[in-house]
Amino acid sequence: MLNYLIKRLISTIPVLLGISLLLFFMLRMLPGDPAQVLAGQMASPEDIENIRHQLGLDRPIYEQYATYLSRLVRFDLGLSARTQNPVIDEIWARLPNTLLLAVVAIMLACLFGIPAGIISAVRPYSWLDYLVTMSALFGISMPVFWLGLMLVVVFSVVLKWLPAGGTGSWQHVILPSITLAALVIAFIARMTRSTMLETLSQDFTTTARSKGLTEKIVIIKHALRNALIPIITVVGLQFGLLLGGAVLTETVFAWPGLGRLIVDSILARDYPVIQGAILIFGLLYIFVNLVVDFIYAFVDPRIRYD
Amino acid sequence: MNEQLKPLLEIKGLVTRFHTLDGVVKAVDGIDFEVYEGETLGLVGESGCGKSVTALSILQLLRCPPAEIMGRILFEGKNLLELDREGIRKIRGNDISMIFQEPMTSLNPVLKIGEQIAEAARTHKNMTRQEAWRWAVEMLRMVQIPGPNSRARQYPHSFSGGMRQRTMIGMSLSCNPRLILADEPTTALDVTIQAQIMSLLHRLKDEFNTAIVLITHDLGVIAEMASRVVVMYAGIVVEEAPVKEIFKDPRHPYTQGLLGSIPVIGRKRQTGRRLQEIPGIVPSPMETPSGCRFHPRCSKVMNRCCRQEPPMIRLNEHRRVSCWLEAHSTVKKSQAGGR
Ligand SMILES: Nc1ncnc2c1ncn2[C@@H]1O[C@H](COP(=O)(O)OP(=O)(O)OP(=O)(O)O)[C@@H](O)[C@H]1O
Ligand SMILES: [Mg+2]
């Protein structure tokens, strides 16, 4: 187990290197000059040149990457071009907000998605099933920002029940987390439905029924437990989608999280912050997948890591 | 024979149909038979003739597509088909339990072996967790699983096929049922294991005084275990007889075909012997042939067989057969009863 963990941790290093490399060069292919953006419209060519030198942007690109990398291995993400604060501080200030949103959204998604999928699978082709599958289709096809705006219109503007944006109270969390969860609920419901349909028709489910167990036990203890592996896989994968969704959701709801930090930094061509924040997203994603793999071993006795 | 006993299970005019997208599948098309207390009834027939569907109909375990079950299934005098969901649930595993063909897929892969036995006992016998667990270990010991205490804590993937089928037997006996429906319990196992499992089942059946409906392809197993045999073909019963007589004097051409036409003394000792090939195939339950269902494959087919369905002829108290040959030869003394 420990060996496996160490192996997995070591294997994240090339992944992170890959992310940093891709990101570094892709960012520099973006149109727009960071020095120009930073200096503003009125700046003279000398000012811009100065800033460029300050940021190290006048050196060859491979040299820039080497410097970046050598700092990275010392866990130094550099300074924000915009605010001159250490990037790590900027990220730390926003990360808890994004995590809060993501965790609430995932919990909502499991809380609604899994039961919806179970109900659908237990009564396939009933009106309840159609309701669930249609809503799931709706959830999947709906653009995140549009859903966010609609929720704001209905619950903040018309009904005035909930704040339209910002942070500070639990009410602020509701709309953005629902927005973020919608897509994930839909995916989880669909996955739960199809796997449950399968496990419900398997031999061991008939065996369970033949023992005279109640339908509730047959469904939850026998069928659902066997359907958990694919469901957990989807939850893990959706976490990545959620981080992407955070960028849009946080923008719509003026939520001070990592997603909005990224958007603001892209607009300002603040390379160090973009690189740092996306690297953190990558790390989070890797971490979640690691957790998922360990949950596998927990729910399925056939899976062993060594 | 068991004529002195009253029937434990009486099946009367059982019809099971599936409504599928391609049409109505009449998997079981009007069958009658009885099972007496403590006896082993062999149910034989080629693949697809409706043996499993019969067993699953008794416990109403057919789910998708929804099966339509008609007729009467009397267990200790009460009609199981009239029970509500809760009523039939209390029968399942408690009064009537089942052993399935596929030991590899019939056990739940993510639950401990002990738990899978214990949960039945907890459901029906009001045992506490510890009591049920101890009972499960006892059951494993009874079906001769070595080291039952530690084995109970393992999962099915560390059990061999034979051990899983032993577990299934232990599970099916755990609530001391009156009747076990064993649907080809040894077909998926290799021959040496088959014999062990069968002798185990035979011994425990006597110990618990449980009746068994033994569904099988294996005539050797029938010869050794069953007291009576019901032969099914294309969803109906074609012949019923005590086991000795069916080997000595099979009447229906289908039964004769199954036995390899000429009975050979000593054949029944060859365990593991499979059914003989009969030319042709079992008709699809969607389009049963006119007249006698077996006539397209029958070596003794007559004109009448193609047009008219033969009646069920009672030859004596223990024997019946559904064939025009018998109708002609026993025309004077025939007491045609039922179907
Ligand atoms: N759920 C179902 N839906 C539609 N048709 C079915 C269903 N289950 C069984 N049948 C059909 O009913 C017929 C009888 O099937 P059954 O499983 O009882 O055969 P069997 O005698 O047990 O055969 P085997 O020896 O292969 O187990 C088959 O033709 C089968 O295709
Ligand atoms: Mg079968």
Task: Locate the domains of chain B by residue range.
Answer: 9-95+177-290, 105-172
ipTM of the complex: 0.87
* Smallest CA separation from ligand 1 atom 25, residue: B47
Asked, as a colleague might, if the bond just before B296 is cis with ω within 30 of 0, I would say no
Is the CB of B123 less than 8 angstroms away from the CB of A212?
yes
Q: Phi first, then psi: what are they for A241, rounded to 5°?
A: -60, -35
Q: Enter the tokens of residue B136.
A: 């499960």
| Displacement of CA B206 from its chain's centroid (Å) | 18
Give the pLDDT score at B338.
Answer: 40
Is the Cβ of A202 closer than 8 Å to some Cβ of chain B?
A: yes
Burial B86-119 (b: 16+ CB within 10 A, else e): eebbebbbbbbbbbbbbbbbbbbbbbbbbbbbbb
Q: Phi first, then psi: what are they for B17, rounded to 5°?
A: -120, 145
pLDDT less than 70: residues of chain B: 1-5, 64-65, 261-277, 330-339
Give the predicted TM-score (pTM) of the model.
0.84
Is the Cβ of A300 closer than 8 Å to some Cβ of chain B?
A: yes
Domain ranges within chain A, ordered by starting residue: 20-72, 97-299
Q: How would CATH label the architecture of B9-95+177-290?
A: 3-Layer(aba) Sandwich (3.40)
Report which residue type is found at B244. Answer: K
Q: Pocket residues for ligand 1 (CB within 6 Å)?
A: B 18, 20, 25, 27, 45, 47-53, 65, 285
Nearest to B108 among A208, A215, A299 (CB): A208
Give the pLDDT score at A7.
Answer: 87
Give the pLDDT score at B330.
Answer: 60
CB-CB neighbours of A95 under 10 Å: 16
Instruction: Indicate the DSSP class of residue B35.
Output: E
Extract the runs of DSSP E, i.e. beta strands, from B100-245: 179-183, 211-216, 228-233, 236-242
Give the pLDDT score at B64.
Answer: 65
Is the Cβ of A209 closer than 8 Å to some Cβ of chain B?
A: yes
CB-CB neighbours of B53 under 10 Å: 23
Strand pairing report for B228-233 and B40-44: parallel
3-class SS at A136? helix
**Which residues are found with C-beta within 5 Å of the ion, ligand 2?**
B 52
3-class SS at B231? strand
Cβ atoms A236, A288 nearer than 8 A: yes
Q: Enter the tokens of residue A228.
A: 């958990």
Give the pLDDT score at A289.
Answer: 87
pLDDT less than 70: residues of chain A: none
Find the radius of gyration of the CA atoms of chain A: 24
d(CA B140, CA B152): 8
Give the pLDDT score at B11.
Answer: 96
Intra-chain end-to-end CA distance of chain B, in Å: 23
- B105, B110, B164: which to substitute to probe chain A, counting the most A Cβ within 10 Å? B110
Nearest to A203 among B100, B111, B155 (CB): B100
Furthest-apart CA atoms within chain B: distance in Å: 67
Is the CB of A201 less than 8 angstroms away from the CB of B111?
no
For residue B28, give the ligand nearest its CA.
1
Give the pLDDT score at B339.
Answer: 40
Can you tell me which residue has the tokens 């057969």?
B321
Residue A302: list chain B partners with CB under 8 A.
109-110, 155, 157
Is the CB of B92 less than 8 angstroms away from the CB of A214?
no
Is the CB of B102 less than 8 angstroms away from the CB of A211?
no
Q: Which CATH number describes the domain made up of A97-299?
A: 1.10.3720.10
